[in-house]
Structure 1
Amino acid sequence: METQINHEVLDYFSDHLEKFASQKKISLYLYSTGGDILAGWSIVNLIRQFCDEFEVIVPSKARSTATLITLGAERIVMTKQATLGPIDPSVTIPLKSQISDTLERAKFPISVEAVAGYLNLATAELNIKNEQLLTSILLKLSDLIHPLALGQIYRTRLQIQVLAEKLLKTHLDDENQIEKIISFLSSKSGSHDYTIYRKQAASELHMPIEESDDELDRIIKNIYNDFRIELELNSRYSPNIFLGDNEKKEYSFTRAALESISGGSHKFLSQGVLEKLQLPAKAEPLKEINDKKIFEGWKHEQ
């Protein structure tokens, strides 16, 4: 039941930020495996309207769009366990060249850098220069991915690099350093699952990393442990396991949280009832699980 960073959180961020007095520095305690890149860009720019200095604290995972958010911070505080990751996005599209069919096609996430890697393999690694062969290679790709989707992939690749550059320039002046960070995070890391710990982020990428001292480290980890339990970050969702021997059971899952001391807590909840239904069958009776949702959305607590 993973959730991702989405534009819908911007209104809730505003609710919290407007309750702050004028702040010199705002710290964003961030755990996320990713989401919409433009939502991440908007979050950074929104927070910067309310402070002079922006800091991000990373207790564990700040991947993909969450890493993009850290690029807009003057300071990134990371624990020893904390990781950043590449910012190369994926585009979810049907793997067919026709998109006008009436039937819904299965959609798959396509890595923007994977498409670029396919073309680089032909031109750089295999050194293919024959125009006819290159045309054939591109046509082969368009047999699997619609040309309009390929255009979107190209635009997305350019967009993530432009956004990263703009965020870094809010606090960095060194063009070479900016280029090095963007190049590694968008393509040279080799895989979207590549993990970047604080030593590499500081020594190789020269990002503004600050190690937490023992006291701050203890506070960061205590907060993370509290969220880890509430959001069940280490538990896979399985209706069968949740029901166990019960035929029917109510559920309430907290799937995301946005909190501040002055603004209270916004939580994204899924609530409902799981029930085993017996299906008629010639052999052994079959059972399926019916999920009757009662509520799904954000709720606020003071």
Structure 2
Amino acid sequence: MDVSTRRMSMYKNRRNLYQELENARNSKLLVYITGDRPGLETQIHSEVFDFFVNHLDIIGVTEKISLYLYTRGGSTLTAWSLINLIRQFCDELEVIIPSKCHSAGTIMSLGANRIVMTKQATLGPIDPSVNTPLNPQIEGAPPTAKMPVSVEAIKGYIELVKEELGIKGDENLAKILVTLSEKIHPLVLGEVYRSRSQIKMLANRLLANQITEPGKIKNIVNFLCSDSGSHDYTINRREAKNELGLMIEKPDNALYVLIKSIYDDIQKELCLTEAYDPNSILGKDPSASYSFKRGLVESCEGGSNYFCSEGSFSRVNLPGPAGLHPGINDNRTFEGWKYESID
């Protein structure tokens, strides 16, 4: 079976599971996956906005929409735009989380009326990282490779200086700021502060869809933005419900099996647990073609938009200080979005 046939059959089989989930939740289903296969990661990005519009136009205005979401994060403003877009098409919105839903994905979840989490599902902090052309360059990497600047890393540095090292006084703090500005461009530092204020504002507004108490909203936002201590911190279902106070639903066994079946199918197609290794694809052959599916936006009625990379690997000899050495050439012929209809 060739790659295109396998891709089509997997989506068509998955549609049956989607329809079962719609029936179980009495809702219309929209699926958004950004793959995190090592070496082929994708993120929430504004380029999917029109795909969401197309799916929602086909679904039409309805009482309830279920967003099935798997992501490690991405653009904060895109997350805000997408969740507000979906809410224009329904009275009630739930987010179903089969596994990872971090950073900007967590932001999207805050805008739902409820969050359905499996036992292995996790949310995460929403403190953003700033990526601009003025960011510090990664040492030893190509000139275009820039180091993300974490909002909370800057805050942690300032707190270290003031609280742990005990440096006080306007003059001493000014020297510290000058030193910091020599390492990180002042405009990047300004963007860090703006991003932190913006994300708090967005989280407050989104949480109003599921939390009505201002004090509780403030505590949730503070924890997600800074009090969790690290961007890598994960929040399981029990903590999300009992400690943060989010509107969390625990699926019963039948619903869990259905959610997990959809996730297993997507994981298999996107190879989420397999490292990106050209050598394993080539095997003993001198060349081999590839097609990697890396993200998708799907619905029962609207078909499948999928992001993929296509091309071929070939073994080559590369020049080096000690003479020629074996290497692999990646001839990528396509990278972008394609569409598969329901027919």
Pairwise CA distance, 1:67: 0.5
Pairwise CA distance, 1:161: 0.7
Q: How does 1:212-291 map to 2 (within 5 A)?
A: 212-279=251-318, 285-291=324-330
Letter in 2 for 1:225: D
**Structure 2: runs of 5 or more not aligned:** 1-39
More moved, 64-73 vs 240-249: 240-249
Pairwise CA distance, 1:278: 2.1
**Structure 1: runs of 5 or more not aligned:** 97-102
**1:23-55 C-alpha deviation (Å, 9 max, x unpaired):** 111000000001000010011000001000110
Letter in 2 for 1:28: L
Number of corresponding residues: 296
Pairwise CA distance, 1:127: 4.5
The answer to whether the aligner puts 1:292 opposite 2:331 as a matched pair is: yes
Counterpart of 2:205 (choices 163, 166, 178) is 166
**1:109-164 C-alpha deviation (Å, 9 max, x unpaired):** 12110101111222344443311111111111111101111111111111111111
The aligned residue for residue 177 of structure 2 is 138
Letter in 1 for 2:67: L
Letter in 1 for 2:267: R
**Contact 2:96–2:115, Cα closer than 8 Å, also in 1:** yes
How many Å separate the matches in 2 of 1:280 and 1:42? 48
How many Å separate the matches in 1 of 2:68 and 2:153? 31
Pairwise CA distance, 1:279: 3.3
Question: Percent of pairs identical after alignment?
Answer: 51
Letter in 1 for 2:207: L
**Contact 2:125–2:231, Cα closer than 8 Å, also in 1:** yes
Q: How does 1:176-187 map to 2 (within 5 A)?
A: 176-187=215-226
**Contact 1:94–1:105, Cα closer than 8 Å, also in 2:** no
Query: What's the Cα RMSD here?
Result: 1.7
Cα gap change, 1:138/1:51 in structure 2, threshold over 3 Å: closer, same or farther? Answer: same
Counterpart of 1:40 (choices 62, 76, 79) is 79
The aligned residue for residue 99 of structure 2 is 60
Letter in 2 for 1:151: G
TM-score for the superposition, normalised by structure 1 = 0.94
How many Å separate the matches in 1 of 2:318 and 2:41? 30
Counterpart of 2:135 (choices 73, 84, 94) is 94
Pairwise CA distance, 1:94: 3.1
